[in-house]
Chain A
Amino acid sequence: MAPSLAAFAIAFGLLVLETLIGGSLSIEGSSRLGLVLLVLLSFAGVPRAVGAAGSLVDLFALMGPLALLGAGLDLASGASRLAVLSAGVQGLLLAVLWATAAERARRASGRLYALLWWLLVPLASALAFAEAATPPVGDSSSSGMGARLALLDPLAFAARTARAGGLDEPLFVAAGALLAALVVLGSTYLPQRRVEERS
């Protein structure tokens, strides 16, 4: 429940902040659906401790209304239906896959999953951010490790969607979704195989 509550508090706070101070906020021009997805994906796959309470239902019961409101605000502000639908479906798919993987890993052995999550979510984002903030040398644009990892990073997808004008370009994150699916399968079947081998 704790990651879901934290995600709800942050996303809800962003929308309230924008309502209260409007144009003074630096998220002016950003997609509200993208912001909610950014928060949702930040928390969907957080590795859970063995025995920790939490479920997909908690996450989507809390974040679903915020995502729908974000989509409504984007559409009312002139974003195209196709772009909002595309971002919403991809974000939902990624969130379900990551959250399911985190749940399965919690019930069994979560070490592999936790390692992958740290590599593909916070580390990939940090590397991509560091590379973007560093002036390029010669013609080395978009060739760094951070840029390659960012292709699989759900946060990079959400950040691109959320930025001003990001909804104008429908984005496809098949690679990230596929990897998340592999993580789900891996965390589901690997522990069973180990048990079978031991017996």
Chain B
Amino acid sequence: MIAAFLLCSAQLGGEEGNRLHWVELELEGPLDSLVLDAGAAGETRVAAELLAGESRRVRLPVPLDPPAVEGGRELALATIHLSTTPSTARARILGLAAGDEDELASLPRTLLRRTRPPVGPARLVASKAEILIVLFAGLAGLARRWRWSARLGVALVLGVIAAASALARASGPTSVRVIEGDLGAGAWLEVRGAHAELELAGLERLEVDPPGSRLSIEIDGLDHPGVVRAKGASLYGIRRESGPGPGLEQGSNPFVRALLVWSREAGGPWRFLGLLPPLGPPPASPPDPRVAPGWLVGALTSSRSAWVGRLESAEAQEYLRVLFAP
């Protein structure tokens, strides 16, 4: 039974798709708040605060499922239920707004579809010390000469010590920023990853892992960007950006912060270049080898030269990942 369960619990990879879509609405006050309910996909709650006689035409985000959107705009609209407070307020969905996703879709897949960084608390496994504690607790549990209260007491104390040791190693939620580049296409993206909650400001695309997670978008005022929340999920917001200054093609660090770099020639292995000073070239002497994070070098086409790196920053984890022109 246990073996069957273990076989079934193997994780399966899921397809990723954009979950951030936009609807255009016509609103007329008095209106306190409105909800765009997209069923199982999630909802958008907006504090509107329109006064009587005031009217606005707005564009609001709504978390649709990719299959609903692929079925056509009419089908996607049919999944959205609009409700207002007060219920007598006038609000009308005009249609799905042309999203930035259409323009993002024209970017090469080698740029748009890359491995996303892990975010959120890391999965901890039992340390050797904790294993030894529970093993000792097990041996103590076998001491049948002891009184039952002593055996249970020892088990409880040792179990609490092992659990406290695991809790002391817990890492807090993380947020990650990745600057993705394709020098062949001359295009750059910024990917912001966060656990359970992400600000929507400036985002053009939203990817969620697990892909089917229910999303809750909250907007505090019609002119505010809002935040998206998904319990236990990893959220990745994507937008185009202008990219760093020149210098990457010549092997220099174009950033004003130091950059820890790994490079790879087309078809070759990854090589650790070392810590590049701000706006500077690699050091002359080869550094001791270091291994790049797996997600950063994974699934990056091997037919083109590439650079990956980590920006030195005390505030957040920031990475660079660039494919050079073929």
Write out the residue numbers on chain B whose beta carbons fall within 8 Å of the beta carbon of A65.
133-134, 137-138, 141, 155-156, 158-159, 162
Q: With contacts A10-B2, A42-B2 known, is A18 near B210, CB below 8 A?
A: no
Do residues B152 and A61 form an inter-chain contact, with CB atoms below 8 A?
yes
Do residues B133 and A76 form an inter-chain contact, with CB atoms below 8 A?
no
Q: Report the separation of the CA atoms of residues A1 and B128 in the bound assembly, to the nearest whole angstrom.
A: 26
CB of B135 within 8 Å of the partner chain: yes
Write out the residue numbers on chain B whose beta carbons fall within 8 Å of the beta carbon of A1.
142, 144
- Enumerate A148-182 residues with CB–CB distance to B below 8 Å: 155, 159, 162-165, 168
Binds A, one of B116-124, B281-289, B304-312: B116-124
Q: Report the separation of the CA atoms of residues A162 and B10 in the bound assembly, to the nearest whole angstrom.
A: 12
- Enumerate B136-159 residues with CB–CB distance to A below 8 Å: 137-138, 140-142, 144, 148, 151-152, 154-156, 158-159
Do residues B123 and A77 form an inter-chain contact, with CB atoms below 8 A?
yes
Closest chain A residue, CB of each to CB of B152: A61
Q: Report the separation of the CA atoms of residues A132 and B9 in the bound assembly, to the nearest whole angstrom.
A: 13
Nearest-CB distance from B320 to chain A (Å)? Answer: 25
Closest chain A residue, CB of each to CB of B120: A78
Write out the residue numbers on chain A whose beta carbons fall within 8 Å of the beta carbon of B124.
73, 76-77
- Enumerate B160-179 residues with CB–CB distance to A below 8 Å: 160, 162-167, 169-170, 173
A-side interface residues, number (CB < 8 Å): 50
Do residues B126 and A15 form an inter-chain contact, with CB atoms below 8 A?
yes
Q: Is the interface of B mostly helix, strand, loop or mixed?
A: helix
Q: Report the separation of the CA atoms of residues A104 and B158 in the bound assembly, to the nearest whole angstrom.
A: 29
Partner of A69, one of B8, B130, B141, B144: B130
Nearest-CB distance from A173 to chain B (Å)? Answer: 17
> What 0/1 readout, one digit per residue, does chain A (115-145) give for beta carbons within 8 Å of chain B?
0000000100110010010000000000000
CB of A46 within 8 Å of the partner chain: no
Nearest-CB distance from B155 to chain A (Å)? Answer: 4
CB of A93 within 8 Å of the partner chain: no
Q: With contacts A15-B134, A73-B126 known, is A155 near B1, CB below 8 A?
A: yes
Partner of A68, one of B140, B142, B160: B160
Do residues A19 and B131 form an inter-chain contact, with CB atoms below 8 A?
yes
Q: With contacts A69-B166, A76-B124, A168-B232 known, is A39 near B2, CB below 8 A?
A: yes
Do residues B170 and A165 form an inter-chain contact, with CB atoms below 8 A?
no
Do residues A69 and B163 form an inter-chain contact, with CB atoms below 8 A?
yes
Write out the residue numbers on chain A whose beta carbons fall within 8 Å of the beta carbon of B8.
132, 163
Q: Report the separation of the CA atoms of residues A15 and B129 in the bound assembly, to the nearest whole angstrom.
A: 12
Q: With contacts A60-B155, A75-B167, A77-B122 known, is A38 near B141, CB below 8 A?
A: no
Write out the residue numbers on chain A whose beta carbons fall within 8 Å of the beta carbon of B232.
78, 165, 168
Q: How many A-B residue pairs have CB under 8 A?
A: 146
Closest chain B residue, CB of each to CB of A72: B163
Write out the residue numbers on chain A whose beta carbons fall within 8 Å of the beta carbon of B121.
76-78
Do residues A71 and B163 form an inter-chain contact, with CB atoms below 8 A?
yes
CB of A62 within 8 Å of the partner chain: yes
- Enumerate B54-76 residues with CB–CB distance to A below 8 Å: none
Partner of B156, one of A16, A64, A122, A132: A64
Do residues A61 and B10 form an inter-chain contact, with CB atoms below 8 A?
no
Write out the residue numbers on chain A whose beta carbons fall within 8 Å of the beta carbon of B1.
42, 122, 125-126, 129, 155
Nearest-CB distance from B307 to chain A (Å)? Answer: 26
- Name which of B5, B148, B164 has the most chain A CB atoms within 10 A of its CB: B5
Nearest-CB distance from B210 to chain A (Å)? Answer: 7
CB of B11 within 8 Å of the partner chain: yes
Q: With contacts A38-B2, A76-B166, A78-B121 known, is A64 near B155, CB below 8 A?
A: yes
Q: With contacts A15-B126, A19-B127, A69-B134 known, is A26 near B9, CB below 8 A?
A: yes
CB of B125 within 8 Å of the partner chain: yes
Q: Report the separation of the CA atoms of residues A61 and B139 in the bound assembly, to the nearest whole angstrom.
A: 9
Partner of A26, one of B7, B122, B126: B7
CB of A27 within 8 Å of the partner chain: yes
Residues of B whose CB lies within 8 Å of any CB of A are 1-2, 4-11, 120-128, 130-131, 133-135, 137-138, 140-142, 144, 148, 151-152, 154-156, 158-160, 162-167, 169-170, 173, 195, 210, 231-232
- Offer 22 A-B interface pairs, CB within 8 angstroms, sorted by A: A1-B144, A12-B134, A12-B138, A26-B7, A28-B123, A29-B9, A29-B123, A39-B2, A42-B1, A62-B142, A65-B134, A65-B137, A65-B162, A67-B159, A72-B164, A76-B121, A76-B170, A77-B122, A78-B120, A125-B1, A163-B8, A168-B231
